[in-house]
Amino acid sequence: MDLNPPPFSTFKHDGLSIAYFDEGDPSGAPVLLIHGFASSANVNWVFPGWLKTLGDAGYRVIALDNRGHGASSKPHDPSVYHPQSMASDAIALLDHLGIASANVMGYSMGARITAFLTLANPHRVRSIVFGGLGIGMVTGVGDWDPIADALLAPSLDDVSHPRGRMFRAFADQTKSDRQALAACISTSRDLLTVDDMERIDVPTLIGVGTKDDIAGSAQELAAIMPHAKALDIPGRDHMLAVGDRVFKKAVLEFLTTFGQA
């Protein structure tokens, strides 16, 4: 497999068109990939080599463009972007493909969506990988209002907030619908409780870059989950950890142990 975008299909759910790909070995253990905020299935999973890595290892690799992102519908109503709603798209995709249960890997916002998905549908999840989000999914990940402001600013030149500039530049680079992203960022950050995380009892790997100033501690989150292991991704920040070789190697080892059943 190469790093070029695979063909995408679409299906309807909740009145929206959801784009996805279904690649790799059709008989392999399924891995469902859920991307982060302002990203897409291609940007998060194809270009950094995840589709190739997992596909070459014999997995069935499935990824969707979250609502508001990529080739999926992009409503501008903030009320449709709560994590529970976005998780329901992912479950609907498994239903659409006739997949009873899958390994689920989410990065950043995708990790939060994965947690909500698992709490609502524990029988559908074989194992979990949280990337780019640790204890921040419980304690919060700082003030994101400047990011919404940055997304709606006339241009990048009008944005001075460092994190706002980072996400505005990323949104411009990916040619995203900035109004949809601003709606998404306002409601997609619902927090989980310690009790919620204690109830997630499937095998879990939590990978966070050692220079990530957004995610919060992987170790602190792992400590409150019954079957979780933390992974430091050396020298990587929030944007660069996703494609890291250390992260890929650890995920393959984790899936070999826990992701086949």
Q: What is the reported pLDDT for 259?
A: 82
First to last CA, the chain: 24
How much is the average pLDDT of 182-204? 96
How much is the average pLDDT of 45-54? 97
Which of 16, 104, 116 lies closest to 62, judged by CA? 104
81 pLDDT band, cuts 50/70/90, is: very high
DSSP 229-245: EEEEETT--TTTGGG-H
How much is the average pLDDT of 180-207? 96
Quote the CA–CA distance of 151 and 153 in Å, as a whole number.
6
How much is the average pLDDT of 187-208? 97
Average pLDDT, the chain: 95
CATH superfamily of 9-141+193-258: Alpha/Beta hydrolase fold, catalytic domain (3.40.50.1820)
How much is the average pLDDT of 76-81? 97
Q: What is the reported pLDDT for 261?
A: 61
| Residue at token pair 């994590």 | 83
pLDDT digits (tens, 9 = 90+) for 121-168: 999 999 999 999 999 999 998 777 889 999 999 999 999 998 899 899
Quote the CA–CA distance of 113 and 55 in Å, as a whole number.
23
Give yes or no for residue 2 having a pLDDT over 80.
no
Cut 0.95: pTM above it: yes
How much is the average pLDDT of 112-117? 98
Q: What is the reported pLDDT for 260?
A: 80
